[in-house]
């Protein structure tokens, strides 16, 4: 009987520990309320319990516990590092010294790099612990979380639903309380889409704000590293650590009075799931009730179609060269052609059409240069004017046009009676990527069948800290979602 009571007490303690976010866990470790070893042990038990989500490709439990014990020793010696003893998930597109890095492809199933990616260096230098390598879509090329060699990632809020991608394991692991935060990579929405579908916060910085060294690329024009966490506060803390942004700031406000939000329904709500539309409309009303000014704008005929086409062109056109240079520069024992020859058939078919130079859909040099010199600057002007001409602090829209589709549907999705493919999950996130703006997705509720719905907030280029502060105040209206069953 006593043993049973001890087991119940331990389980209850684990339930408390796994709910801690990054900032809360770091503070508890610094203050001596918990040890890093106890926290890491609870998360490892959670990872074993939630193994069917397939959110990690690699976890070295011994290394995690060793690092946690070292953190506890450092704390006893007086260390006050901002992430001391806090485990963080790392998307498996990031190189990690001493821990295998697969990029989600079978060719690299045994590869262990000698150096960390730049973001991992920053996290370790701040006292953070690498918990494991999150599963992802092969070469970060997809939005449903399907991976042929390492398996399908499942959504914690509905195991028969997709988690989004390409940072699929990152979103699932954070939502499932396996880790308080995980790194991600965003090219057309690969942080914000899984954040929306898994009910967590996903922050895509302004392009160039976070370092990308040691992270497998797709497009140098579009790529950015970033983070998924369960609160805006944690995203802001990690942004400060990675960017070393220690500038003194004015005291944070908690209200939304005199904040001006713009939304463009003709562009971002043309094809949208009714429940997602209803949650978004209710969110606008909540913001109005909180004192914010909401204005409706129109970005013009053809804005979304033109922007989507141009951005996907960058995605496809730059990938082969970017990957070829990355694997050579970082001593990965593989070539692009070897990866190409080994990927799943449906992915190889797409690459053969639009990624390799002999493909019928491969963008010509003239078309590529025109997109870089004319198309992208025009998009940045259009979205820049959405802020300046309307005196708007932020642009709002539903992050994804629907809650998480079912895994069994594969790439074929029906939204409001329209048949679309998986790329449509990033339809709303693509303009932000194309223009290189900062964006953050926060959860605003659950659908009637218990699946998360996300709200994206975008700011003008370079206004990341203002965006994070504003998102914190918006988040306070909606809170966090309940832990998935």
Residue 439, domain member (yes or no): yes
Asked whether the predicted pLDDT for residue 405 surpasses 80, the reply is: yes
Contacts of 317 (CB under 8 A, 6+ apart): 219, 354, 362, 363, 368
Task: Answer whether residue 323 is part of any domain.
Answer: no
Report the pLDDT averaged over residues 199-205: 98
- The pLDDT score that the predictor gives to residue 474 is 98
Distance CA 236, CA 455 (A): 18
pLDDT for 448 equals 98
Q: Which of 36, 182, 190, 447 is catalytic?
A: 190
Determine, yes or no, domain membership for 2.
Answer: no
In a domain, 365, yes or no: no
Q: For position 250, what pLDDT does the model report?
A: 62
| CA dihedral of residues 376, 378, 383, 385 (deg, nearest 10) | 150
In tens, the pLDDT along 86-125 reads 999 999 999 999 999 999 999 999 999 999 999 999 999 9
Q: Which of 55, 93, 140, 166 is catalytic?
A: 166
424 lies in some domain: yes
- How many angstroms separate the CA atoms of 402 and 284, rounded? 17
341 within domain boundaries: no
51-75 pLDDT, tens digit per residue, is 999 999 999 999 999 999 999 999 9
Number of domains in the chain: 1
**Residue 254 pLDDT > 90:** no
Residue 342 lies in a domain: no
- 247 domain residue, yes or no: yes
Q: Confirm whether 91 is a catalytic residue.
A: yes
Residue of 36, 55, 91, 182 with catalytic role? 91
340-355 confidence digits (pLDDT tens): 999 999 999 999 999 9
Percent of the chain whose pLDDT exceeds 90: 94
For residue 371, give the DSSP letter. Answer: I
Percent of the chain with pLDDT over 70: 98
Closest by Cα among 425, 410, 408 to 165: 425
- The CATH number that applies at residue 65 is 3.90.1300.10
Q: Which structural domain range is residue 63 located in?
A: 10-297+373-478
Strand 201-204 relative to strand 181-186, pairing: unpaired
Give the CA distances from residue 139 to residues 166, 308, 338, 348, 423, in Å, rounded to whole numbers and listed in that order.
Answer: 8, 21, 13, 12, 16
Residue 377's pLDDT is: 97
């Amino acid at each position: 009987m006593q043993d049973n009571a001890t087991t119940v007490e331990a389980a209850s303690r684990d339930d408390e520990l796994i709910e801690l976010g990054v900032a809360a866990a770091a503070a508890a470790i610094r203050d001596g309320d918990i040890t890093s070893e106890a926290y890491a042990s609870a998360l490892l038990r959670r990872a074993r319990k939630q193994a069917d989500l397939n959110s990690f490709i690699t976890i070295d439990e011994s290394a995690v516990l060793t690092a946690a014990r070292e953190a506890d020793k450092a704390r006893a010696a007086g260390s006050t590092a901002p992430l001391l003893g806090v485990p963080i998930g790392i998307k498996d597109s990031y190189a990690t010294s001493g821990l295998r890095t697969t990029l989600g492809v079978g060719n690299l199933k045994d590869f262990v790099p000698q150096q960390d990616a730049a973001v991992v260096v920053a996290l370790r230098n701040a006292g953070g612990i690498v918990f494991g390598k999150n599963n992802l879509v092969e070469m970060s090329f997809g939005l449903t979380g399907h991976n042929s060699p390492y398996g399908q990632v499942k959504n914690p809020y509905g195991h028969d639903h997709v988690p989004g991608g390409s940072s699929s394991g990152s979103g699932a692991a954070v939502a499932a309380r396996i880790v308080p935060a995980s790194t991600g990579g965003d090219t057309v929405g690969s942080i914000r889409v899984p954040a929306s579908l898994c009910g967590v916060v996903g922050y895509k910085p302004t392009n160039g704000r976070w370092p990308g060294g040691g992270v497998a690329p797709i497009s140098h024009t579009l790529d950015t590293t970033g983070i998924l966490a369960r609160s805006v506060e944690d995203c802001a803390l990690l942004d400060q650590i990675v960017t070393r942004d220690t500038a003194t700031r004015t005291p944070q406000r908690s209200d939304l009075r005199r904040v001006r939000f713009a939304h463009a329904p003709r562009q971002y709500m043309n094809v949208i799931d009714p429940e997602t539309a209803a949650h978004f409309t209710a969110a606008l009303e909540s913001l109005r009730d909180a004192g914010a000014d909401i204005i409706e704008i129109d970005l013009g005929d053809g804005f979304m179609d033109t922007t989507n086409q141009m951005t996907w062109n960058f995605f496809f056109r730059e990938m082969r060269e970017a990957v070829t240079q990355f694997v050579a520069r970082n001593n990965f024992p593989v070539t692009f052609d070897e990866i190409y020859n080994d990927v799943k058939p449906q992915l190889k078919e797409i690459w053969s059409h639009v990624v390799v130079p002999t493909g019928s859909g491969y963008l010509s040099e003239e078309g590529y240069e025109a997109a870089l010199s004319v198309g992208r600057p025009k998009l940045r002007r259009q979205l820049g004017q959405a802020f300046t001409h309307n005196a708007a602090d932020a642009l709002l829209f539903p992050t994804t046009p629907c809650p998480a589709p079912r895994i069994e549907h594969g790439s074929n999705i029906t939204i409001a009676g329209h048949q679309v493919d998986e790329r449509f999950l990033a339809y709303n996130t693509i303009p932000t990527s194309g223009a290189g703006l900062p964006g953050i997705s926060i959860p605003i509720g659950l659908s009637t069948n218990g699946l998360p719905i996300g709200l994206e907030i975008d700011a003008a280029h370079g206004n990341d800290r203002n965006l994070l502060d504003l998102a914190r105040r918006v988040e306070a209206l909606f809170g966090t979602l309940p832990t998935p069953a």
